[in-house]
């Protein structure tokens, strides 16, 4: 394998690894469940993309045929990541898990829990 290809593959592996690490750091550091959701859904998509591109390059070279079934992993990730994030957010809302105190518009969270329109609970409150 030529040096330049090794270099490119290593760069992609490193970039991917760094983003996966950042995603995990985010999961540990962020203060409440709603903000924690952001780290694994975002940082990992690029992290995995880096690893998959590296894998595509390496195995396309090694087997001297185009290896693109890694694209399927990316496709399934794009389908499942938002859905699982959405389900976790919903569960958190219904369990009334407290959001960080300085979270803005917490009344919207209450409306979302009951699946109401956002202005409905406010009007009730005023009456």
Partner 1 sequence: MATPTGFKFFPMPIHSVLLFVVWLLMNNTLAAGHIFLALILSITIPWLLAGLQSAHPPIRKPWLAVRYSLMVIMDIVTANFEVALKVIGPMAKLQPGFIAVYLDISSDLGITLLASTVSLTPGTVSAEVSEDKKWLYIHALHLENEQALIDSIKQRYEKPLLEILGC
What is the binding site for partner 1 (CB under 8 A)?
19, 22-23, 25-26, 29-32, 34-35, 37-39, 41-43, 45-47, 67-69, 71-72, 78-79, 81-83, 85-86, 89-90, 93, 99-100, 102-106, 108-109, 111-113, 115-118
Between 35 and 57, whose beta carbon lies closer to partner 1?
Answer: 35
Q: How far is the CB of 3 from partner 1 (least distance, A)?
A: 27
Between 10 and 82, whose beta carbon lies closer to partner 1?
Answer: 82
Helix axes 106-113, 70-94, angle to 10 degrees: 100
Number of other CB atoms surrounding residue 35 within 10 Å: 14
Rounded CA-CA distance 72/67 in Å is 11
CA 67 to chain CA centroid, Å, is 25
Q: How far is the CB of 1 from partner 1 (least distance, A)?
A: 20
Q: With CA atoms as reference, report the closest residue to 46 among 23, 30, 24, 76.
A: 23
Q: How far is the CB of 94 from partner 1 (least distance, A)?
A: 9
């Amino acid at each position: 394998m030529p040096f330049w290809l090794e270099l490119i593959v290593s760069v992609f592996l490193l970039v991917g690894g760094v983003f996966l690490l950042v995603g995990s750091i985010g999961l540990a550091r962020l203060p409440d469940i709603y903000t924690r959701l952001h780290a694994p859904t975002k940082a990992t998509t690029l992290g995995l993309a880096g690893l998959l591109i590296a894998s595509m390059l390496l195995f396309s070279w090694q087997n001297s045929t185009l290896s693109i079934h890694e694209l399927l992993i990316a496709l399934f990730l794009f389908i499942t990541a938002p859905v699982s994030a959405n389900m976790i957010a919903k569960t958190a809302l219904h369990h009334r898990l407290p959001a960080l105190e300085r979270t803005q518009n917490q009344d919207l969270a209450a409306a979302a829990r009951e699946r109401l329109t956002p202005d409905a609970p406010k009007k009730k409150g005023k009456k």
